[in-house]
Structure 1
């Protein structure tokens, strides 16, 4: 498969399920005329269009398990004309390597007129064109067929290869009457429409944000139903969505504070612009230019908006410290769709779907036109002057803003993983309605974390590397300590992961330019060895003949006399080169195109099909494929170990690809621990202020909600004359150091509380990891994990201590010390008695 986007494991899983469902649906319709409805339910940002593009490609072009069905026909129905264009461009982009030219077509009122739909084409249609007033539904004026006749003829003559896709996931918030009409038109294809002389569609595939939403649409259809739901947590873990949505509102919304809050929102947007510019320059990425969207009120009469647009732009420019240039500000008002003047600046109209690609646009004014068909990952700040009655609409709008601009989580700056919404006309109660709408099963199903606060306040603090600790920061990142990720999903095809990793190494300067070539050559050698083995055993010619030849059975039956076959005879026929080529393509896809190199290296001018048949023979051997899987798995782990530290030195883009590929291969994957330049840590009601933390605010401080045990650890550490700084290793932060431990036969993540840095007396530093831990049942499993980690750290961890307070004394067990760690070999139970005895015996007081 040559889908343009690199699919995530959860997308591959969904794609495989949908392909399986479609095979069953096609078979059921051919055998019994049974209709099937398939649902793909996935939260915002899961890549439903990418998955559906992959499905279309798999059906039309075939894959390693299925032959191509190039005469299949697809109809893609959406509820907005602009979505037609957007969906077609996305499918065209994603399938650009496989589908024939002109295989995608938008059905247009003024030109479309066919008896039936053409084979091998993907048609895009929107419900507005199916209304009674539409030209498509009428005969006359040069039209020979209504759209209903075209569809019915296609069902009758080509129904077994007709797929009807309903894009219900991208529906905008509409008036109740519009929603009812849209549902009514969509249901014509699900239930059939006697008024239009239209039968039910044989195979319907629905895309929806939730199963419930589409289930309501197809209720009582009587069709066979199959569904697949993409787990929201898997989407969140992928980095495709921003981690957090922050909603700010005034502590008292009785007063008019809109412009003051717009000024503050502008400041936040300017900070985002600076952070993105710094990050992209540091990582040698194209600059991401964040967009601030400003939602204004509707107008009355000839007035564009009840919100003072001139004052809005004036406020933004005052905070920005300069005038905005023509082209930096745009509007997406439904009316007028022409240039307007705001505060003396010409502001052009931009279609919502074009905002993200219009890189010069930095500020967008809009009213209600952005939810349908609008995806703008660059939109990171939003200000809404709307009233609290519009909370459902605002929730849907936020669903269009949560995608990440670089399609991955930003590890180097936590501030770039959130989106900020400002609501000056909301109070806490109404903001909660927005949050409920965002999180509800009937809403956008957004898996990002959502938090609310009054303007200017936050339950988190933004911290940066202390100016006098930057050398420590670089030293820590240069260590590249191992940190682990526990994966919620994995792909068991190690050959795919191996090639991904090999190509990354080959394309990264100075890493391993021959990595992918070596893998392909080794697979070629395995094929050659197998062929030589067949020849030595005398089996080669017979097996080649079995590939090239097949038996056609002919039987006769006397018409109208006997209902019985007789005089059966067999004919031996040869596959054509075309048939062999198709089988080779399927076989080679299982080798991830390594068969192509084998053909080049073993080309036979007299028999060009010979090496292709040999590839087919290899793939048909279960023993050979098992041997290949073992080779792929072993080499994957070898490459993973070999490249980890080297690839982590490159840009975050390279490192994130390494992390992604290695996560696909195993349940617990090792990565290089790298701290970002900016982090966010929680505040608490009781704050402990400290100036020696590695990350501090702009005043050189950081605040921590530490308990007494934790404070004692830091106080004791800071008494050491060699002490330099410390780091709060915040639980479950993407950047936090994570160590796996096993308890009750299950692997869990473990985040030790503190990283402490000391001088080593030779101009460099020492690193200690400290975990204050109570007498919990996970003590022994975590202690064993600490000892194992320290042993594998190659001396980079000086101390790995578990501490415990007894009275006013602190006791420590240093599991980086072999004299202590070896004692754990006797700890086979998961109770705390053994560890308690060790603490008492060692008597290593901190005093």
Structure 2
């Protein structure tokens, strides 16, 4: 795999491989069929996840501890041949261990009796319609698709894994009794058998789940579900969408196309400047102009084409007028019912949707429906949609195609972390619905969440460093004790190897890879030296194999047996080594073997007998480390962890000065820790936020926040504006007269947050307290954490305990640490967590909601009165 997976992707791959492993055993063991789905939002990298799974399935994976399945045949089903071609290209791009020749677009030219193992086949249902050639016998093809599929399923040496892309498609029959083609593949067509394993992939799997639950032949397993928040936090999606709609009724299409063009030109200039500054390949933004469908009665008429051409000509002329440098050949279209379009001076070629991303000549794309489901084009930065307002559900889905980040990471320029959408035929109510659906404030009517962004802006403003706040306040908050949570499944050895590669690439540590391996080799050498007798005993066991012979003689009622001891062969030693590779990685074990063999060869040459080297014995001696009682894994991991932390600490300044393109690599390394590690709070230098709510009403604003408009205002986001407790907290802290600055701590556990890592059961969690206020106390700047969080909420107990533990350790650095949990008669009650007595009460309190409420009632004190105007 050429790509480094995000944490949520790694988790999903491991779970899917486990599910497929059990499904394979169930099929061959008891003919039990399995169905499940991967459910994840648009932009989460579902294809990358699938490619990683299939690569491991076909070729094995040390990282996921799976052996290759020699029986595997993969059938990838998608509704559109263009999507299949796009998926195949994506597989070639990221799954480097799958030969391109093993990725086959299946069609009527296929004439084999069955599908072949080790191969991924792509098919779309249109090729299997009743009159299609692929379902007929011909002179050159003696097997129909259905017979090929049946022969593959019936072959005991093959395991057919069917992957259904966009799994909600093809699962809805026109009638309750009629099956779609996709359902015939899955369930059998009445003559041929059902497939053994079905893996669906979709942002919305409800329809798939319902269909598979009704299918008696299948056992429905638990779906693999990816939290949209994890996707948003990963940097794969933009932080925000801007929806620009008219303030009043009227035809604003030309105005909106103009505004979209001006915005597009600004985005192009911003990307050019950013790429030059970062020293990276140029990002080439794309402007998408979505035109309306022709009416049902005029789809193929001359009048319909003429009207459509007039719209296209008007759009392009408006774009050219406001983009003087517009290249002559930069326009293309993906209109399914048109060939090359000639309007005015424009000759507009038709392109396949999957080709748009990599064809940088295309800067303006004319589209209708082809850029909705499945379209992948991260360089699409600006959309202007001339579709009517009653198509708002469709546009909501389309917006999901606009939120991918071109570099698969967040940039340091906030403007480049947002996409812009101009919607001249939308009204306020429609915009409100679209915005709230995308932000998860209401359930989508379509059943499909088209995008997963944290905010949708209708009238954005830019926040920058607030010059009314002293520099010391920024530095104080930046350096507060903040700890990122450890990885769910930490792998210190993989972490040091990744760190070594990155540090060497960035010329921060010379020979880092060699140093990393040598540090672990020193540990292995010391373990062998200290446990020599055990190592030799295990080596002897590995080097010999006990063969049991059972003899039955005619006339005797009982069998006799004997055991012979023979020398083990290379395969036996390989089996033993495989155990060590699983705990120490193939890289470390292979390199350690290579070093030991080379040392033995050198010693043999010095002694004048180079043939005396027994490589099998050396391999067995190393393999013995897996079977001795010496905490081999922990000791090697401890050494790896120690060196990684040393490098990250001593090279912190060098890492901080690297371009943005390198930052995600180190973020991933930091997030692979097995214990909480301290980090700084990286306060943004600029941020775009909305100035109105979804009803287009101005949002309330407050002063002295670290980031503000030029006028010193910080607009409160809609959720905060409606939160009485949070607004009362801000008002109270400002009323004290000593406030020098404050920070609304982001709720996500990212680099911009003050994070408190804590253990919850067996897993690590992260708490982000809501507010940090800095007051001037006796002439000294002192920070305070104020966290209004209702005691009735499900996470109140672990969050309160985490804050108490944090206060235990770092309370001296704060003026106050107060958890606000209940409201009585308009008064907010808080717990003073700097009090050891109250912390003890928190630790001793049961974790249920009623106990936490009693804790506030018995130990809480008045924090503030909620003002009547809030």
Select the residue among 159, 162, 172 that pairs with 2:160: 162
Distance 1:107 1:585, change over 3 A: farther
With over 3 angstroms needed to count, the CA separation of the structure-2 counterparts of 1:220 and 1:710, relative to structure 1, is closer
Where in structure 2 are there 5+ consecutive unaligned residues? 602-612, 693-697, 792-798, 821-831, 843-854, 864-870
1:672-716 deviation digits (Å, cap 9, x = unpaired): 3333342134647575686x8765546787667896875786698
Greater CA deviation, 327-336 or 571-580?
571-580
Q: State the 1:554 CA deviation.
A: 5.1
Residue 245 of structure 2 is matched in structure 1 by: 249
In the superposition, the TM-score normalised over structure 2's length comes to 0.78
Alignment counterpart, residue 517 of structure 1, candidates 514, 518, 522: 514
| CA distance in 2 between partners of 1:779 and 1:13 (Å) | 28
| 2:84 matched residue in structure 1 | 84
Q: Which secondary structure does the structure 2 equivalent of 1:235 belong to?
A: helix
Residue 829 of structure 2 corresponds to which residue in structure 1?
Answer: none
Change in 2 beyond 3 A, CA 1:441/1:75: farther
Shift of 1:582: 6.4
Q: How does 1:124-163 map to 2 (within 5 A)?
A: 124-158=122-156, 160-163=158-161
Deviations 1:196-239 (A, max 9, x none): x3211122222222342321232223322223222222222222
Give the whole-Å Cα distance in 2 for the aligned partners of 1:22 and 1:744.
Answer: 30
1:673 aligns with 2:711: no
* Equivalent position of 2:332 in the other structure: 330
What SS does the aligned partner of 1:23 have? helix
Q: Say whether residues 1:588 and 2:587 are aligned partners.
A: no
Alignment match, 1:812: none
CA contact (8 A) 2:570 2:616 kept: yes
- Structure 1 residue aligned with 2:262: 267
Inter-partner Cα distance in structure 2 for 1:112 and 1:342: 42
Q: How does 1:197-346 map to 2 (within 5 A)?
A: 197-218=191-212, 219-227=214-222, 228-253=224-249, 255-299=250-294, 300=298, 301-302=301-302, 303=305, 306=308, 308-320=311-323, 322-338=324-340, 340-346=341-347
Residue 452 of structure 2 is matched in structure 1 by: 448
Change (3 A) 1:709 1:635: same
Shift of the alpha carbon at 1:277?
3.1
Q: Equivalent residues in 2 for 1:678-689 (5 A)?
A: 678-681=686-689, 683=691, 687=700
What residue in structure 1 maps to residue 756 of structure 2?
Answer: 740
Give, in angstroms, the shift of residue 421 of structure 1.
Answer: 2.4
Deviations 1:627-684 (A, max 9, x none): 3334344444444444444422322333332222222325755333333342134647
CA contact (8 A) 1:30 1:160 kept: no
The residue aligned with 2:423 is: 423
2:570: which partner in 1?
577
- Contact preservation (8 Å) 1:41, 1:208: yes
After superposition, residues 427-442 of structure 1 pair within 5 angstroms as 427-432=427-432, 434=434, 440=444
* Cα distance change on mapping 1:669 and 1:416 into 2, 3 Å: farther
1:347 aligns with 2:348: yes
Q: What is the alpha-carbon distance in structure 1 between the residues aligned to residue 862 and residue 435 of structure 2?
A: 49
Q: C-alpha distance in 2, partners of 1:341/1:28?
A: 58
- For 1:312 and 1:659, locate their aligned partners in 2 and report how far apart those are by CA, in whole Å: 43
Q: Distance in 2 between matches of 1:558 and 1:128?
A: 65
Distance 1:471 1:686, change over 3 A: closer
> Aligned runs of 1:338-417 on 2, under 5 Å?
338=340, 340-410=341-411, 412-417=412-417
Mapped contact 1:296–1:386 kept (Cα < 8 A): yes
SS of equivalent to 1:346? strand
**Shift of residue 298 of structure 1?**
2.5
Helix, strand or coil at the partner of 2:376: coil
SS in 2 for 1:269: helix
Distance across 2 between alignment mates of 1:775 and 1:84: 48
SS in structure 2 of the partner of residue 108 of structure 1 = coil
Shift of residue 245 of structure 1? Answer: 3.1
Range moving further from structure 2, 69-78 or 275-284: 275-284
Instruction: Output the CA distance in 1 between the equivalents of 2:220 and 2:553.
Output: 43
Contact 2:241 2:420 in 1 (8 A): yes
Show CA shifts across 1:234-261 (max 9, x none): 22222222233333333444x2211112
Distance (whole Å) between structure 1 residues aligned to residue 393 and residue 807 of structure 2 = 48
751, 761, 768: which one pairs with 1:749? 768
SS of the aligned residue for 1:102 comes to helix
| CA 1:822–1:390: 2 relative to 1, 3 Å | closer
- More displaced stretch, 671-680 vs 440-449: 440-449
Separation of aligned partners in 2, 1:787 and 1:343: 74
Which secondary structure does the structure 1 equivalent of 2:113 belong to?
A: coil
The alpha-carbon deviation at position 385 of structure 1 amounts to: 1.0
* Separation (CA, whole Å) in 2 of partners of 1:425 and 1:180: 40
Q: Flag the 1:712–1:152 CA change in 2: closer, same or farther, 3 A.
A: closer
Q: 1:740 to 1:626 in 2, by over 3 A?
A: closer
How many residues are treated as equivalent by the alignment?
A: 785
Could you tell me which runs of 5 or more consecutive residues in structure 1 were left unpaired when the two chains were aligned: 761-765, 805-819, 840-847
Alpha carbons of structure 1 residues 450 and 657: separation in structure 2 relative to 1, 3 Å:
closer
Q: Distance in 1 between matches of 2:518 and 2:10?
A: 27
For 1:315 and 1:393, the matched residues in 2 are separated by 25
Of 18, 29, 32, the residue aligned with 1:31 is 29
Report the 3-state secondary structure (helix = DSSP H, G, I; strand = E; otherwise coil) of the residue aligned with 1:389. helix
Q: How does 1:413-562 map to 2 (within 5 A)?
A: 413-432=413-432, 434=434, 440=444, 443-446=447-450, 448-449=452-453, 458=459, 460-465=460-465, 481=479, 484=482, 487=485, 490-510=488-508, 512-534=509-531, 536-537=532-533, 539-553=534-548, 555=550
Displacement after TM superposition at 1:485 (Å): 6.0
Cα pair 1:461 1:681 within 8 Å, conserved: yes
Partner Cα separation in structure 1 for residue 414 and residue 254 of structure 2: 28
CA contact (8 A) 1:275 1:416 kept: yes
* CA–CA separation in structure 2 for the residues paired with 1:78 and 1:528: 53
Q: Would you say the 8 A contact 1:166–1:205 is kept in 2?
A: yes
C-alpha contact 2:491 2:674 (8 A) present in aligned 1: no
Deviation at 1:192, TM superposition (A): 1.7
Whether the aligned pair in 1 keeps the contact of 2:676 and 2:757 (CA below 8 Å) is: no
| Distance in 2 between residues matched to 1:292 and 1:652, nearest whole Å | 25
Residue 822 (structure 1) shift:
9.3
Question: Could you say if the C-alpha distance between residues 712 and 205 of structure 1 is closer, same or farther in structure 2, counting changes exceeding 3 Å?
Answer: closer
Tell me the CA shift for residue 740 of structure 1: 2.7
Q: Distance in 1 between matches of 2:177 and 2:349?
A: 34
- Label 1:585 to 1:14 Cα distance change in 2 as closer, same or farther (>3 A): same
Q: Cα–Cα, structure 1 residues 595 and 361, in superposed 2: closer, same or farther, change >3 Å?
A: same
Structure 2 residue 68 is matched with structure 1 residue 56: no
